[in-house]
Amino acid sequence: MPLFALFCVDKPNSLPLRMATREAHLAYVGGFRDQLRLGGPMLDDKGDMAGSIIFIEADDLAAAQAFSTGDPYRQAGLFDHVHVTAFKPTLGTLG
């Protein structure tokens, strides 16, 4: 199955919104445990969560985008922008 990278950048000053929707986000992505290869928050200069990076196996780009669209973080309007792209790992490993 192809691998896709989701690069999601939070809107400025949105840490309270992230924290308010975090449990729903974690429950949502937990439903895709078999497809997720790596994921976690990006951090700002202070060490606060400021975005997300997720690597997921999906049938195609449309399926990866649908996963992103269904994320409670995205539905809550947390992200300033989201980029979903096919990804081919050539160095290291994905868990």
Q: Domain spans of the chain?
A: 3-86
| Mean pLDDT score across all residues of the chain | 96
Q: Which two tokens mark 76?
A: 């809550």
What does the block give as tokens for 30?
């937990």
Could you tell me the pLDDT band of residue 64, with boundaries at 50, 70 and 90? very high
Fold of 3-86: Alpha-Beta Plaits (3.30.70)
Indicate the pTM of the whole model. Answer: 0.92
pLDDT exceeds 80 at position 86: yes
For residue 90, give Cα distances in angstroms to 42, 79, 86, 93.
22, 28, 13, 8
Residue 35 has what pLDDT?
A: 97
Provide the pLDDT confidence category of residue 46 given band limits of 50, 70 and 90.
very high
Compare 95 and 78 and report the one with higher pLDDT. Answer: 78
Strand partners, 91: none
